[in-house]
Chain A
Amino acid sequence: MELIFEISKPGRSAADISKSDVPVFNIEDAISKKYLRNDLDLPEVAEIDLIRHYTNLSRRNFGVDLGFYPLGSCTMKYNPKVNENVAMLPGFTGLHPYADAEFSQGNLQLMYEMQKYLCGIFGMAEFTLQPAAGAHGELTGMMMIKKYFEKKGRKRRVILIPDAAHGTNPASAALCGFDTVELRSNSEGGVDIEHLQSLMTEDVAALMLTNPNTLGLFERNIEKVAQIIHDKGGLLYGDGANANAFMGKTRPGDLGFDVIQLNLHKTFSTPHGGGGPGSGPVGVGKALIDFLPIPRILKTGDKYSWSEKFPDTIGRVRSFYGNFNVIVKAYAYIRSLGAEGLTHATEMAVLNANYIKEKLKPYYDLSYDRGCMHECVFSGKRQVAENGVHTTDIAKKLIDYGYHPPTIYFPLIVPEAIMIEPTETESKETLDIFCEAMISIAREAKENPDGVKNAPLTTPVTRLDEVLAARKPDVCWKKP
């Protein structure tokens, strides 16, 4: 398919600009020539060609609305259309962030109530909606932990991070000036308690724990883990990316977590947008409230307003208040599902994942044979041993069956990992047909491995040369 630049023709344009209704003048009379640019190399296309270009591009893209998208750790659940609609109400899209509080009571109320609902769902004392994504929330949490110890006159340098953790965990800790130390998992897929005990010192600020973890397994020793951390004055940080596994069943606050980040674009059904925007609210227990980013919402009577009067705040992690329009969609989701709906979603998500686990375990090595939660992790090592068919090949073959592959090669502690998270919005039939495809691929890997290794064959492009892309990076088109 041609690039937009390749279909450009000088003199064409799609968007027009109104004629000025105010006096026009020579720009150089207002702004000296040395500040002005003399080139503007942007596409020149007619509107019809622009629309065709992007519409055709969209047809080369796979979203949840097209088919099953069992990306482990991403919670690719259905994005409800009513939420898209209400988020487009002009009342929500049209306000400038600096509009006086008198103009924005609806927005303030929405955010205030959202914070309250999240507190109830997750058992935390207060929330900030400022971070723009999960990783951003992790960083915010790390900063609050840092401030907490600074206030106590202590400087703790270390964050403990399980070997199964998502890459953003150590990256966030590092971006906050912490050193990271890796914590081993045990044979059950949980935290190695003895290793934790040996690592927990008074130089450790916190343990960053994902629960259930990236293997989809609930930490059976959570009480002991929390106790080990807290006994030495440390804090327990929770990566809430897997919240879809426990809504209405338990709450991180009750389990001993001092601070958690969520991903609205995962658990709360807002669209992933091809990579974003997301939203990463952070919840805290009482001990960390003072450090929340500013501004924070105050409610006086039935009026809401922003306030920066919080002297111990970590400050700001971005401009303005958060990814507000994303929050609107998540708010609508919570309101429409209610407590019972959120709980049911979790129950069906966990049911779906266990169902897939049972159906596929004769054909693929299960990394840990115990009850999983909302996702299950297999290893492709049997297929590798048999005929050199790798997890990558299995994933690419699934594409030919019309699926987006599961997450592959993560978590790092499972060789040839295949992480399947169906979510609750998939029917039994969808799961059955998916499992049939996976079983068929397992058979083909045995009987006709090349058929798997050559996949995908049904897509606009076949496997792309990633080595070339990295060796000779071309990230900006140049006119030939």
Chain B
Amino acid sequence: MDYCPHTPDDIKQMQAAIGVAGVDELFADIPQKFRLKQIPDIPSAMSELETVSVMSELARKNKLPQLTLTGAGAYHHFIPAVVGHIVGRAEFYTAYTPYQAEISQGILQAIYEYQTMIAHLTGTEIANASMYDGASAMIEAAVLCAKMSGKTKIIVARSVHPEYRQVLQTYCWANGYSVVELAYMPSGQIDLNALQNELDDQVAAVLVQSPNFFGVIEDIAPVADDVHKKGALLVAGFTDSTSLGILKPAGAAGADFVAGEGQSFGNPLNYGGPYLGIFAAREKFMRRIPGRLVGATEDKKGRRGFVLTLQTREQHIRREKATSNICSNEALCALAAGVYLAALGKNLRKLAELNIYKTQYLKNKLLQLAGWQEVFTAPVYNEIVLRCPDSKKLNEKLKNEGIIGGYELQKDYPELENSLLLCATEMISKTGIDRVVDIIK
């Protein structure tokens, strides 16, 4: 395929206008010794038909599962048809960042609406226009806390997603911050005593996740109290954003920042990306938070309009003094989330309830099998940890039936042997669950 419209005649005329005999002259500034003859290691060009053929072949090398019991940070939810139709509109997806507000009112207003819905869902006052994913959103909140306070100690619950904790370690190493991991209790919730022991006046931020990696719902309010008593800030994360449809948001329980993964709002699994970093905060942090912000204002005729605002926080203005380096974000994924939320409306709660019913049914059926036990005691949303006789063998068996089993916790939590993190969303039918149980039997 070639998307250049230039005919040989065009090229001749343009060369003449510029005053060169051939395009090669335009590359005269590249020293001869560094000129490339041909790009190596790339297969030959293909027609559109061949491109489709090759890509379809590659896609076929994947195996789509019959059903999946894994959540662990990425969730199989139903995406209403409206979402794809809206984000597939070229006026949206072929546009760039709305720096020229007059011709970008569409995306600006859509993101303003998204910000509003997210602030409400998270129980905060402000939400930005997106970060890369749940991990980077949570971790940039932590880094911001450190930068604002000048303190260098970060506390993170072990029950936060293992990959999120890895990202935290990486960012903290880069900035010279220290990280302390907090144990969880037999209930599955964070160990408040351990938290109180670690909290001192050197702590910039405490990171918890709710529901946490074990699916367990944390009691945020007492955590927030302890954290604030020691002059630190609380960052509360989440990985399945549909939980916000039924659970009391961390913002309402005292969290300073609520940052997590928004993929569940209208974005496909997509093998891990692009996803959606949701970043929300208390109003007092408005002038420090990272990421783009859409604000409402007026034009010369007093009509309501929207612009990117408080850009003085951002890299293109503050440069090395910016609160983050983020430029391109996940705007189209945020648009998808906004459409999704507008479509579901109050039915988001019904969706969350359905997820809870499915998970409880899965749990009850599995607990009827010999040797299966609940590992934690605290309430869960749509994921649960169960111990079974042989988790490796079980997942192998399920795999051979084309089913993605549970997430094996042992590799991240060596103390949780034969324990599986299982997720049931609205996408799993009763028959599906029954079939899984039959296979395991």
Please tell me the size bucket of the interface on A.
35 or more
Complex Cα distance, B104 from A405, in Å, reads: 12
Q: Mark B170-194, 1 if CB is under 8 A from A, else 0.
A: 1101111000000000000000000
Is B370 at the interface (CB under 8 A from chain A)? no
Q: Is the CB of B174 within 8 A of A175?
A: yes
Does B62 contact A105, Cβ atoms closer than 8 Å? yes
For window 387-408 of chain B, which residues contact chain A by CB distance below 8 Å?
395, 399, 404, 407
Q: Given the complex of chains A and B, what is the CA–CA distance between A350 and B15 in angstroms?
A: 11
**Chain B residue, CB-CB nearest to A11:** B346
User: Are A475 and B106 closer than 8 Å at their CB atoms?
Assistant: no
Cβ–Cβ contact B41 & A35, under 8 A: no
Q: What is the 8 Å Cβ interface bit string for chain B, positions 267-300, against chain A (1 contact, 0 not)?
A: 0111111110000000000100000111111111
Most-contacted residue by chain B among A53, A58, A69 (CB, 10 A) = A58
Is the Cβ of B309 less than 8 Å from the Cβ of A466?
Answer: yes
- The total of Cβ contacts below 8 Å across the A-B interface reads 670
Q: How many angstroms from the CA of A85 to the CA of B97 in the assembled complex?
A: 23
Q: CA A232 – CA B80 in complex, angstroms?
A: 58
Give the top 5 A-B pairs by smallest Cβ distance, nearest first. A320-B272, A91-B59, A338-B45, A61-B106, A273-B332
Q: Does B418 interact with chain A (Cβ within 8 Å)?
A: no
Binds B, one of A192-200, A274-282, A381-389, A438-446: A274-282
**CB–CB B6/A35 < 8 A:** no
| Residue from B102, B248, B347 within 8 A of A36 (CB atoms) | B248
How many positions in chain B have a CB within 8 Å of any CB in the partner chain?
199
Tell me whether B270 and A325 are in contact (CB under 8 A).
yes
Which A residues are CB-close (under 8 A) to B330?
132, 273, 276-277
Across-interface contacts of B248 in A (CB, < 8 A): 34-37
Measured in the bound complex, the distance between the Cα atoms of B306 and A40 in whole Å is: 25
Known interface pairs A89-B56, A273-B93; A176-B174 also in contact (CB < 8 Å): yes
Chain B residues 26-79 with CB under 8 Å of chain A are 26-31, 34-36, 38-48, 50-52, 54-56, 58-65, 68, 70, 72-74, 76
Which residues of B are found within 8 Å of A345, using beta-carbon distances?
3-4
**Chain A neighbourhood of B30, CB < 8 A:** 218, 246, 249-250
The A contact surface, by secondary structure, is loop
Chain B 360-388: CB-based contact to A (< 8 A → 1; otherwise 0)? 11000000000000000001010000000
B98: min CB distance to chain A, Å: 7
Task: Give chain B residues whose Cβ lies under 8 Å from the Cβ of A15.
Answer: 80, 82, 340, 343-345, 347
CB <8 Å contact, A47 and B343 = yes
Q: CB < 8 Å: which of A325, A343, A476 contacts B116?
A: A476
Q: How distant is the Cα of A334 from the Cα of B115 in the complex, in angstroms? A: 36
Residues from chain B with a CB closer than 8 A to the CB of A23 are: 357, 360-361
Q: Are A103 and B273 in contact (CB under 8 A)?
A: no
Residue of B nearest to A22 (CB): B361
What residues on A are CB-neighbors of B90 within 8 Å? 63-66
Cα distance A382–B344 when bound, in Å?
A: 54
- Give A468 to B286 CA distance when docked, in angstroms: 15
Chain B residue numbers with a CB within 8 Å of A337 are 1-2, 45
